[in-house]
Amino acid sequence: MSFWKHRQQMGIAALIMGGSIFLSRFMGLIRDKTISFLFGATRESDLYFAAFVIPDFINYLLAGAYFSITLIPLLADYFEKNEQDGWRFFSAVFTWVGIAISSITALAMILAPELARLAAPGLDSESLVRLAFFLRIILPAQVCFLLGSCLTALLYLRKQFFVPALTPLIYNLFIIAGGVLFRDRGMEGFCWGVLAGALTGNLILPYLAVRRGDGLQLQPVLFHSGLKRFLYMALPLMIGQSIVVLDEQLVRIFGSLAGEGVVSRLNYARRIMLVPVGVVAQAAGVASYPFLAELSAKKAFSKLHETLHSALRNVLTLLIPLSVWMMTVSEPTITLIFQQGRFGAEDTGQTSFLLRIMLITVFCWGFQQIVGRAFYARQDTLTPAVIGTITTVLSVPLYICLTTRCGAVGVAAASSISIALYTLALTLWWRQRAGAESFKGLPADAFKLAALSILAAVPAFAAVHTAPFSPPHHPYLWSLWTIAASGICFGTVFLFLSKIFLKDLMRPFAVKAGPLGRWFTS
């Protein structure tokens, strides 16, 4: 079978997407490590991170993050009935998306100075000029993201996950290369890398994959009856801005009000926090969504609830202990990854504390990703959008209050609280609408996982504070030792406790773990 046409089953798809997201997060850490080494937590790095507020908001405004999710069930329906009509529908969506994003991007580039003030209200006039310059470089990348998302939807529909798995890797590679090659021009090189990476990885590669795979019949189409149906599903996502997609922007906006370097430190902490979310929850969500959509289309709701329950249970089983352990090694993690060059020990201390706050709700990030896709699988984009919008509106006063009172710590706390509220509301609404079958036993499982994780964290925490190396004199040896020692302590204790109290929860993973798995299930 041709490379361009190779299809994957759900389990393999999850592994591919998990590996991709892991590598993408790893490359993202290398990218941020490069930034922290060259520019630390300074005004210049703050400007770079703030430059994404407006482009990302435009992407969210046009539901760019959800384009594949919105298109997949509709494309499946049209292609199932009539392939030629399916191509006309896809062409119409692609045409109008191109027109909309190109027009909005052009307008935003003209208004860049005014938009810079909205993105970072805490900056001085000189910094705002440079921020507007960065904005004009990054903004065109949104054209590539949106059009590329349309093409990626076709690949997901064909159950071809390998090429979409490559796009974030290529994107990050170009950013790193641009920043290193043009480092004498400040953060400008990283901005050019964003544009080059988006063009190459997010647009050209999916285009080639679709065209060389099962083919691409793209034509200029302005009218199709399916556009109304598409808008009906996409409009709630365009109007209703979820706290999940706006969280990063709120962190940057309010971080700019909390002092110089705060935006950068919050960004570094958030990147580390999102690694387990991406590797575990995002991979499971992306891989399971086409199958959930298929079960919903067949009205096999009992099987859908079973699949949803299994996905949620597995995500909690991995994320809760992982996040608790990461709290114990937050300082050595930040030291190992970022403390070098212009990023000093003081930056490490402040960033690691922010990371601990954000890690508290990692399991919420994972949980809501799975539940949200269950709504989308049933072609209900309105409910998550309404709940997300309400949560966002309620979160803004929370951000204002906590930022004013606690500075950077308040921003991190507001982020965690907002995500927890959104996850709770989304879960309760699904339970009210579809019943409690999907969540049966999950609260008790989560409590057991948290309790055993905390017990396992005690020896892990002790290992961190009994290292034979001194952090000021041997920071990297100290970091490697404490991460390895605490990980061994935590993993050993958690596995023994799980064998006694959580055997059912761990069994799906144990059966794939070879000799260790056989010991666990014995």
Helix (H, G, I), strand (E, B) or coil at 362: helix
- Please report whether residue 464 resides in a domain: no
Question: CA 341, 342, 345: angle at the middle one, nearest 5?
Answer: 90
- Can you read off the two tokens belonging to residue 59? 């992407």
Judge if 219 and 304 occupy the same domain.
Answer: no
- Please report whether residue 457 resides in a domain: no
Domain enclosing residue 185, as ranges: 8-238
**Integer angstrom CA distances of residue 239 from 76, 171, 228, 385:** 25, 28, 16, 8
Contact in structure between 174 and 193 (CB atoms under 8 Å):
yes
Judge if 212 and 65 occupy the same domain.
Answer: yes
Q: What distance in Å separates the CA atoms of residue 170 and residue 15, rounded to the nearest whole number?
A: 19
**How many structural domains comprise the chain?**
2
Q: What is the pTM of this model?
A: 0.76
- Please report whether residue 463 resides in a domain: no
Q: In a structure prediction context, what are the per-residue pLDDT tens digits for the chain, which is 522 residues long?
A: 454 455 545 455 555 656 666 677 778 878 888 898 888 888 899 999 999 989 988 887 776 556 666 777 787 777 777 888 888 888 888 898 899 899 999 999 999 999 999 888 888 889 999 999 999 999 999 999 989 888 888 887 777 777 777 888 899 999 999 999 998 999 999 999 999 999 999 899 888 888 876 777 878 888 888 788 887 777 766 665 566 778 888 999 999 888 889 999 999 999 899 888 877 776 677 667 777 877 887 888 888 899 899 889 988 999 999 999 999 999 999 998 898 888 888 999 999 999 999 999 999 998 998 898 888 888 787 788 788 888 988 999 999 999 999 999 999 999 999 999 999 999 999 999 888 889 999 999 999 999 999 999 999 988 877 877 777 777 888 899 999 999 999 999 998 898 888 888 887 776 666 666 666 666
Judge if 323 and 403 occupy the same domain.
Answer: yes
Judge if 301 and 175 occupy the same domain.
Answer: no
- Please report whether residue 459 resides in a domain: no
If one counts every other C-beta atom within 10 angstroms of the C-beta of residue 343, the result is: 29
Judge if 227 and 329 occupy the same domain.
Answer: no
- Going by the DSSP 8-state scheme, the letter that residue 202 receives in this structure is I
Beta bridge partners of 343: 340
**Among residues 211, 238, 265, which one ends one of the domains?**
238
- Going by the DSSP 8-state scheme, the letter that residue 66 receives in this structure is G
If one counts every other C-beta atom within 10 angstroms of the C-beta of residue 107, the result is: 12
Measured between its terminal Cα atoms, the distance across the chain in Å is 40
- Please report whether residue 507 resides in a domain: no
- Please report whether residue 55 resides in a domain: yes
Q: What distance in Å separates the CA atoms of residue 452 and residue 421, rounded to the nearest whole number?
A: 24
- Please report whether residue 395 resides in a domain: yes
**Among residues 389, 414, 440, which one ends one of the domains?**
440
Judge if 55 and 108 occupy the same domain.
Answer: yes
**Among residues 217, 238, 259, which one ends one of the domains?**
238
What is the chain's length? Answer: 522
Q: What distance in Å separates the CA atoms of residue 58 and residue 68, rounded to the nearest whole number?
A: 17
Judge if 214 and 315 occupy the same domain.
Answer: no
- Please report whether residue 384 resides in a domain: yes
